[in-house]
Amino acid sequence: MRVAVVGGGASGTAIHRALTEHGAKPELFSRTTGFDVLRDDAPARLAEAEVIVEATGRFTISRRAATEFFTRSTRAVAAAARASGARHILLSIVNGDLPQVQGYGYLAGKTAQERVARQESPNLTIVRSTQWFEFAGQNIDRMKIGPIALVPAMTIQPVALDAVADVIADAATGVRTGALHEVAGPEATTLWDMTTQLSDKRVTPIPLRIPSRYGRAFRDGTLLPAPGIEVAGPRYTEWLNARSA
Ligand SMILES: NC(=O)c1ccc[n+]([C@@H]2O[C@H](COP(=O)([O-])OP(=O)(O)OC[C@H]3O[C@@H](n4cnc5c(N)ncnc54)[C@H](OP(=O)(O)O)[C@@H]3O)[C@@H](O)[C@H]2O)c1
């Protein structure tokens, strides 16, 4: 089975591994491999795939920029999927569509992306996960200012990206069916605790209390999954230990 994985970085690599282990033939499509989802030729370049996994990302807190990027990415993938009959699997975020967090431009963009995907992609599966264990390192990269990195106060139930990639591979290869899968890790924590357990000492973490409705929602656990969500993967400490072994 030919699977196009659109987007690179950490998630693309993990999804590629999981798909290969499931016996599929994945191919990575991102600017690093000479593919730009925002270019007019993007749908045609995806024509050979039977399944297209959309895992593109652009970090911004601007609602306008996030909405433009994520909806354009999804329109291109949906056009490819409609033209060829491919299935479309979109990677998204648990509780990212709640009203309390729409003031955060990135999540407003993801909400618009899911809406466009449902409107334009007839064979759609959305895989939503909570924040990944890798998110602590991603946040450092994104919020680094010289020798410090700001760490927003967030209460979350993170999950190993490899466990999310396995769910995506199951959905791509037909092991799982259904239009929506939601997955979280085994325990709730804070982004601060995750960050201070990293062995990466490049920067000094500084706690950031975000004012506003969404800042309060991040702190008060609004992003935590509902009881009964599928739980997958190791605990954060087990994951850290395995990485440093
Ligand atoms: N991080 C989390 O904790 C988390 C949790 C749940 C869901 N998600 C979702 O998972 C998706 C991937 O997240 P991520 O954190 O891996 O994102 P990311 O690191 O910001 O970006 C993923 C990849 O998108 C590719 N990309 C960017 N612009 C592109 C373009 N114009 N054309 C083609 N590829 C492009 C980039 O590869 P190139 O530079 O090679 O183009 C980049 O490595 C996002 O939709 C995110 O919302 C993330």
Q: CA-to-CA distance for 140 and 118, rounded, in angstroms?
A: 33
Q: How far is the CA of 92 from the centre of ligand 1 (A)?
A: 11
Residue 201 has a pLDDT of: 74
Residue 130 near residue 160 (C-beta atoms within 8 A): no
Indicate the SS3 state at residue 123.
Answer: coil
Those residues whose C-beta lies under 8 Å from the C-beta of residue 64, and which sit 6 or more positions away, are 105
Q: Which domains does the chain have, with CATH numbers?
A: 2-240 (3.40.50.720)
Per-residue pLDDT tens digits for 30-60: 999 999 999 999 999 999 999 999 999 999 9
Q: CA-to-CA distance for 110 and 202, rounded, in angstroms?
A: 30
Sign of the alpha-carbon torsion through 216, 221, 226, 231: positive
Residue 199 has a pLDDT of: 80
Residue 245 has a pLDDT of: 80
Q: How far is the CA of 12 from the centre of ligand 1 (A)?
A: 8
Mean pLDDT across the chain, nearest whole number?
A: 97
Per-residue pLDDT tens digits for 171-222: 999 999 999 999 999 999 999 999 999 987 779 999 999 999 999 999 999 9
Residue 47 has a pLDDT of: 96
Specify the ligand 1 atom closest to the Cα of 59. Answer: 20
Q: How far is the CA of 55 from the centre of ligand 1 (A)?
A: 5
Q: How far is the CA of 228 from the centre of ligand 1 (A)?
A: 28
Nearest alpha carbon, ligand 1 atom 1: 135
For residue 88, pLDDT beyond 90: yes
Residue 200 has a pLDDT of: 72
Nearest alpha carbon, ligand 1 atom 34: 30
* 39 alpha carbon, distance to own chain's centre: 22
In this prediction, residue 130 has a pLDDT band, given cuts at 50, 70 and 90, of very high
Indicate the SS3 state at residue 78.
Answer: helix
